[in-house]
């Protein structure tokens, strides 16, 4: 016998069913993980400055993204533990305190950065010199900053301890100083090295469209979230200007790095009105002094871009432009002070684009 279902009972069941489906959906959406961002961006601090990381069209799931963020933090902490002169327990601080001339074992990253720094010292005829520490301190910069202009005998004593040839690497990657009082300063290259390291980490996890910046030194691969090459702003180097306040130029960057050295952010005005800046010419023992306000360098990796920018700043616009022009893998933009503003000098391959859009948002 067929059971006749009354319309009222049918409606009740239907309502109950729909209600259960809605409840199920609510429970499911509450427990399921939030979708990972399509274009994640995050920032933090390291090496006495800040960093920014962007991934466009990210293929990373939420869990992988969290793992990448943790891996980046750990990596940057490890680099600091090796190369920060501001951490008394770091490898570099211990090397600097040591007066032994026997091999001093260091981590592979540290050894790699020193190898590059010594090579750049040779290539630049000593304009770049990672043993510049006593001079940096004597002029009031660095971890043991003094403050005032150093006396002549103090400068002479500091200069005597500076010389990249006093440091060598043993075949198994240990450091050796041939003078007991030699000290290293890798501030001119460590940020660039860390930028490359972070980019490699992101790519190992499957991200291909990435932008990494630490304290203004950047590398970019692939494209930004709008499918264009990443756009990087170069600051107009007015004394004390804030990052991004006024742009001198915009560069499109893909599979390349850019780094800038200048005298406009880390400087000290003296009583006679001259400006003392943190980049020292190791050949004279005095802060690099010329009309050059900043130099930006494009290179295949950020370690090179960072180190070469410092070296070119020491050389100045004339010697620096000639040096950069001879290097096929390097492009440079020099921003030079004139009486009433700035003028640009650049190697032929340093291309900039219009200042029409906001590159910080790109
Ligand atoms: P950067 O901002 O990359 O040009 O690096 C500048 C920092 O490198 C300074 O604050 C010093 O700690 C260090 N430094 C200064 N002069 C030199 C030099 N001639 N060669 C290598 N490192 C330097
Ligand atoms: Mg540098």
Instruction: Please state the rounded mean pLDDT for residues 344-356.
Output: 88
From the CA of 92, the nearest ligand is 1
pLDDT at 2: 46
pLDDT in tens, 302-327: 999 999 999 999 999 999 999 999 99
d(CA 100, CA 183) in angstroms, rounded, equals 12
- Atom 12 of ligand 1, residue of closest alpha carbon: 187
Residue 325, classified by CB atoms within 10 Å of its CB into exposed (0-12), middle (13-18) or buried (19+), is middle
Distance CA 85, CA 179 (A): 19
User: d(Cα 6, Cα 18) in Å, to the nearest integer?
Assistant: 19
More confident residue, 186 or 36: 186
The DSSP bridge partners found for residue 249 are 234
Q: Tell me, what's the pLDDT at 245?
A: 86
Q: How far is the CA of 76 from the centre of ligand 1 (A)?
A: 20
Please give the distance, rounded to the nearest whole angstrom, from the Cα atom of residue 362 to the centre of ligand 2. 24
pLDDT at 155 (0 to 100): 94
pLDDT mean across residues, the chain: 91
What distance in angstroms lies between residue 1's CA and the mean position of ligand 2's atoms? 91
Token pair listed for 185: 């300063």
Residues within 5 Å of ion ligand 2 by Cβ?
A: 188, 306, 309-310
- For the cut 60, the answer to whether the pLDDT of residue 357 exceeds it is no
Exposed, middle or buried by CB within 10 Å (0-12, 13-18, 19+), for 22?
Answer: exposed
Interatomic CA distance for residues 300 and 255, integer angstroms: 7
At 224, is the pLDDT very low, low, confident or very high (cuts 50, 70, 90)?
Answer: very high
Choice from 186, 278, 284, 299 to test ligand 1 binding pocket (greatest atom count within 8 A of CB): 278
Q: What's the gap in Å between 47 CA and the centre of ligand 2?
A: 13
Question: Which atom from ligand 1 is nearest to the alpha carbon of 266?
Answer: 10
Confidence of residue 230 (pLDDT cuts 50, 70, 90): very high
Q: How far is the CA of 178 from the centre of ligand 1 (A)?
A: 22
pLDDT in tens, 137-195: 999 886 655 556 888 999 999 999 999 999 999 999 999 999 999 999 999 999 999 99
Instruction: Mark residue 35 as left, alpha or beta (left: phi above 0; alpha: psi -120 to 50; beta: remaining).
Output: beta
Residues sharing a CB contact under 8 Å with residue 3, sequence separation 6 or more, in sequence order:
none
Q: Half-sphere exposure (CA, 13 Å, Cβ side) for 54? A: 21
Does residue 115 register a pLDDT over 70?
A: yes
Residues with Cβ < 8 Å from 191, sequence gap 6 or more? 47, 49, 214, 215, 217, 259, 302, 306
Q: Which pLDDT does position 361 carry in this prediction?
A: 42
Average pLDDT over residues 199-221: 97
From 325, 347, 345, select the one nearest 336 (Cα to Cα).
345
Q: Whose CA is nearest to atom 10 of ligand 1?
A: 278
Ligand 1 center–CA 281 separation, angstroms: 9
| Mutate which of 134, 187, 237 for ligand 1 pocket (most atoms within 8 A of beta carbon) | 187
Tokens 């880390």 correspond to 266
Confidence of residue 287 (pLDDT cuts 50, 70, 90): very high
Task: Using pLDDT thresholds of 50, 70 and 90, give the confidence band for residue 29.
Answer: low
Ligand nearest to the CA of 266: 1
- What is the Cβ-side half-sphere exposure of residue 248, based on CA atoms within 13 angstroms? 25
CA–CA separation, 164 vs 71, rounded Å?
Answer: 33
What residues flank ligand 1, with Cβ below 6 Å? Answer: 128-130, 132, 136, 141-142, 185, 187-188, 261, 278-280, 282, 306, 309-310, 314
State the pLDDT confidence band at 239, using cuts at 50, 70 and 90.
Answer: confident
From the CA of 306, the nearest ligand is 2
User: Could you please report the per-residue DSSP string of 146-168?
Assistant: --SPPPHHHHHHHHHT--GGGEE
Query: Hey, what are 336's tokens?
Result: 């030079």
Predicted pLDDT at 149? 81
Residue 266 CB neighbours (<10 A): 11
pLDDT at 8: 60
Question: How confident is the model at residue 362, as a pLDDT?
Answer: 46
Q: What is the pLDDT of residue 276?
A: 79
Residue linked to tokens 């327990």: 89
Each residue's pLDDT tens digit, 60-89: 999 999 999 999 999 999 999 999 999 999
Distance 273 CA to ligand 2 centre (A): 26
Is residue 120 predicted with pLDDT exceeding 60?
A: yes
**Mean pLDDT (whole number) for 289-297:** 94
Q: How far is the CA of 97 from the centre of ligand 2 (A)?
A: 24
Minimal-distance CA residue to ligand 1 atom 8: 188
Is residue 51 pLDDT above 90, yes or no?
Answer: yes
User: ∠ at Cα 354 (351, 359), nearest 5°?
Assistant: 95
| Angstrom distance (rounded) from CA 62 to CA 123 | 45
- Percentage of residues of the chain with pLDDT beyond 90: 76
Among protein residues, the one with the nearest Cα to ligand 1's atom 5 is 188
Is-contact 126 193, C-beta < 8 A?
no
Predicted TM-score (pTM) of this structure: 0.89
C-alpha to C-alpha distance for 323 and 311, rounded to whole angstroms: 10
Atom of ligand 1 at shortest range from CA of 142 = 12
Whole-number Å distance, alpha carbon 8 to ligand 1 midpoint, is 84
Q: Is 83 helix (H, G, I), strand (E, B) or coil?
A: helix
**Helix ranges restricted to H, 6-45:** 7-31
Ligand 1 nearest atom to the CA of residue 261, by list position? 4
pLDDT at position 32 is: 67
Split at pLDDT 50, 70, 90, the class of 90 is very high
Going by C-alpha positions, the residue among 360, 99, 94, 49 that lies closest to residue 232 is: 360
Task: Kindly list the distances between the CA atom of residue 107 and the CA atoms of 82, 112, 132, 304, 334, in Å, as whole numbers in the listed order.
Answer: 7, 9, 22, 20, 35
For residue 88, how many other CB atoms are within 10 A of its CB? 11
């Amino acid at each position: 016998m067929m059971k006749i279902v009354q319309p009222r009972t049918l409606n009740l069941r239907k309502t109950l069913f729909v209600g259960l489906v809605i409840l199920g959906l609510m429970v499911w959406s509450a427990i399921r993980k939030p979708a990972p961002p399509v274009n994640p961006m995050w920032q933090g601090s390291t090496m006495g400055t800040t960093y920014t990381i962007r991934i466009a069209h990210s293929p990373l799931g939420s869990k992988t993204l969290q793992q990448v963020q943790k891996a980046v933090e750990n990596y940057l902490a490890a680099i600091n533990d090796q190369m920060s002169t501001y951490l008394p327990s770091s490898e570099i601080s211990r090397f600097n305190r040591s007066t032994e001339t026997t091999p001093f074992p260091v981590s592979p990253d540290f050894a790699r950065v020193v190898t590059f720094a010594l090579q750049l010292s040779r290539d630049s005829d000593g304009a770049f010199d990672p043993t510049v520490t006593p001079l940096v301190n004597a002029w009031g910069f660095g971890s043991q900053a003094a403050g005032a202009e150093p006396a002549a005998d103090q400068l002479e004593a500091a200069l005597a301890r500076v010389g990249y040839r006093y440091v060598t690497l043993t075949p198994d990657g240990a450091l050796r100083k041939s003078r007991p009082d030699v000290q290293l300063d890798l501030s001119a290259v460590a940020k660039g090295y860390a930028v490359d390291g972070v980019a490699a980490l992101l790519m190992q996890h499957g991200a291909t469209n990435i932008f990494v910046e630490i304290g203004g030194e950047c590398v970019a691969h692939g494209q930004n979230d709008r499918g264009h090459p990443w756009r990087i702003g170069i600051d107009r180097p007015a004394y004390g200007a804030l990052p991004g306040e006024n742009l001198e130029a915009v560069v499109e960057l893909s599979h390349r790095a850019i780094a800038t050295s200048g005298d406009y952010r880390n400087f000290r005005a003296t009583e006679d009105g001259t400006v003392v800046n943190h980049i020292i010419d190791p050949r004279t023992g005095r802060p690099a002094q010329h009309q050059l306000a900043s130099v930006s360098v494009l290179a295949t990796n950020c370690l090179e871009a960072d180190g070469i920018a410092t070296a070119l700043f020491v050389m100045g616009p004339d010697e620096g432009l000639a040096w950069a022009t001879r290097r096929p893998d390097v492009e440079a933009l020099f921003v030079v002070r004139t009486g009433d503003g700035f003028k640009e000098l650049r190697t032929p391959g340093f291309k900039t684009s219009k200042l029409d859009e906001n590159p910080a948002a790109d």
